[in-house]
Amino acid sequence: MNDRKAMREISPFPVRLPEEIRARIKASADENRRSLNSEIIVALERFYANIDHDEKGSVSA
């Protein structure tokens, strides 16, 4: 399945963001030549990849 078809199958998920955060995401999206939506997806993927990495590397007491 191509990315465009996959994106059409994802239901919209409206999110209210503080203007300052939206502006930072928009600036990053412009710099990376991505849409606001794509920039948010990339940021969330990186965030959760770091969490997964941290959880695997942590040692239980």
The CA distance from 4 to 14, in Å, is 19
Per the domain annotation, does 37 fall within a domain? Answer: yes
The CA distance from 32 to 24, in Å, is 12
The CA distance from 33 to 48, in Å, is 22
**Domain span including residue 24:** 17-61
Per the domain annotation, does 6 fall within a domain? Answer: no
Per the domain annotation, does 1 fall within a domain? Answer: no
**Interval 2-31 mean pLDDT:** 88
**pLDDT tens digits, one per residue of 21-39:** 999 999 999 999 999 999 9
Per-residue buried b or exposed e for 18-31, using 16+ beta carbons within 10 Å of the residue's own CB: eeeeeeebeeebee
* Number of domains observed in the structure of the chain: 1
Per the domain annotation, does 9 fall within a domain? Answer: no
pLDDT surpasses 60 at 1: no
Can you give the pTM of this predicted structure? 0.69
